[in-house]
Amino acid sequence: MVSESQQAGAIRQIEHALVAMRAGRGMRGRGAHPDHEAHRARRGEGTPPWGDGPPPWGDGPPWARGHGGPRGMHDRGLGGAALFRMLEALLEAERAEKRMGVSEVAESIGVDQPRASRLVNAAADRGLVTRRADERDARRSVVALTPSGKEHLTHAHETRRSAVTDAVAGFTPDETAQFAALLTRFVAAWPR
């Protein structure tokens, strides 16, 4: 029998696996994007499994919607999953009392430095992060989350967790735990 705390842990585990898939840290290639079948159908490469209508998930999976428009944290103009990973990395750095420059941001989220710089600039334009000169080394800038950035991140987490909870509502607690374990194994084993 699965306890309430184990159920909550399983939901967090599913959430993290979905983020890894969305971010490309697990699933790559065909099927990596939830709209892949619709994209193939538009190019004439076959009919998607749900037929000729719109995909059943609408404007994207529920965890990608919310704050900031229908695509939420995955707004393509802001770098999608890379932006989300950057905000999470900055929050982790803040909790560890570490300072992050653009190079550290790039390394932590798995992008090159020019892309990290563009992400930082776009997030700064939206008020999600600040970028200021490092008082220890004026040649280096330090990137930090703003209160608005933290709120944005919190809202995205709540939205995604709620979507996962709704999706497994028909599962028993044991099924949820089993699904979480299998999905995590699947994402970890997917060729990178």
Give the up-direction half-sphere exposure of residue 88: CA atoms within 13 A in the CB hemisphere.
16
For 65-94, what is each residue's pLDDT tens digit? 443 333 344 444 445 778 888 999 999 999
- CB-CB contact of 59 with 71 (8 Å): yes
Half-sphere exposure of residue 74: CA atoms within 13 angstroms, side-chain side:
21
For 128-152, how does the pLDDT look when each residue is reduced to its tens digit (9 = 90+)? 999 998 888 888 889 999 999 999 9
User: pLDDT class for 124, splitting at 50, 70, 90?
Assistant: very high
In tens, the pLDDT along 9-29 reads 899 899 888 877 776 654 333
> May I ask the CATH architecture of the domain 4-189?
Orthogonal Bundle (1.10)
φ, ψ of residue 94 to 5 degrees: the values are -65, -45
